[in-house]
Amino acid sequence: MEHRKISRAVISRLPRYHRYLGDLLEAGVERISSNDLSKKMNVTASQIRQDLNNFGGFGQQGYGYNVKYLYTEIGKILGLNKTHNFIIIGAGNLGQALANYASFEKSGFILKSLFDVNPRLEGMSIRGIQVRMMDELVDFLQNNEIEIAALTIPKSKVVEVADLLVANGIKAIWNFAHMDLDLPKDVIVESVHLSDSLMQLSYNISRRKEAKKK
């Protein structure tokens, strides 16, 4: 299959399709029409048809989509048919929360270790995965095939740690620090800015209050 022409906007919607199709699959649903999927997902049926047409003939007029096939194909596009080893830098609450998400593993993201500077966390393990000290990081990276590093450390440490990771071959960073990272172009950075999300919420609260005043 040829995926080269899929737009950014469609790609950004794929994880949500994947999630809904996964739920349907778990519920034993084999086929679903774009209309039914549209009602579930609260987007228009025409948007769904347009998006999924990017992947060729998954649906036939009147027959609906084959849930398992579509789920698998979207998973392939998202790279979920392969495993991705990852580590977490920062074994505080957020790092531990991520380490406890067993669902990442189901999607092929295999947590190999956590790292921290806090000596009190040394020797601790989460779901059998060991917390190591930061001075073991370089050695660990040299001896393990790690693809992704999640950064759940304070903003003040992020630049230094990101540089160290990149210098040791890490090419994909999942960043939770409240800042953007300026790294070489071949390093992929995906940031989760929790404050930005909270501000969107407060923007919408303000808007609603204004609307009520009118």
* Shortest spacing between CB 199 and a second copy, in angstroms: 4
Structure tokens at 180: 């953007």
Which of positions 172-201 make contact with a second copy (CB under 8 A)? Answer: 172, 174, 178-180, 182, 186, 188, 190, 192-201
Q: Residue 10 and residue 2: Cα distance in Å, rounded?
A: 15
54-73 footprint of a second copy as x/- string (CB under 8 A): --------------------
Q: Is 95 annotated as a binding residue?
A: yes
CB closer to a second copy, 139 vs 196: 196
151-170 footprint of a second copy as x/- string (CB under 8 A): -x------------------
Q: Is 177 annotated as a binding residue?
A: no
* Strand extents, DSSP E, the chain: 31-32, 59-60, 64-66, 84-89, 109-116, 125-126, 129-133, 148-151, 172-175, 188-191
With contacts defined by CB under 8 A, how many residues of the chain interact with a second copy?
58
Q: Residue 176 and residue 197: Cα distance in Å, rounded?
A: 12
C-alpha torsion angle, residues 166, 169, 175, 178 (rounded to 10): -10
Q: Residue 52 and residue 179: Cα distance in Å, rounded?
A: 34
CB closer to a second copy, 61 vs 82: 82
CA distances from 115 to 17, 88, 133 (A): 33, 6, 5
Q: Residue 52 and residue 38: Cα distance in Å, rounded?
A: 12
Is position 11 an interface residue for a second copy (rule: CB under 8 A)? yes
* Shortest spacing between CB 81 and a second copy, in angstroms: 9
Positions touching a second copy (CB under 8 A) are: 11-12, 14-16, 18-19, 23, 41-42, 77-80, 82, 84, 92-94, 96-98, 100-101, 103-104, 107-109, 147-148, 152, 171-172, 174, 178-180, 182, 186, 188, 190, 192-206, 208
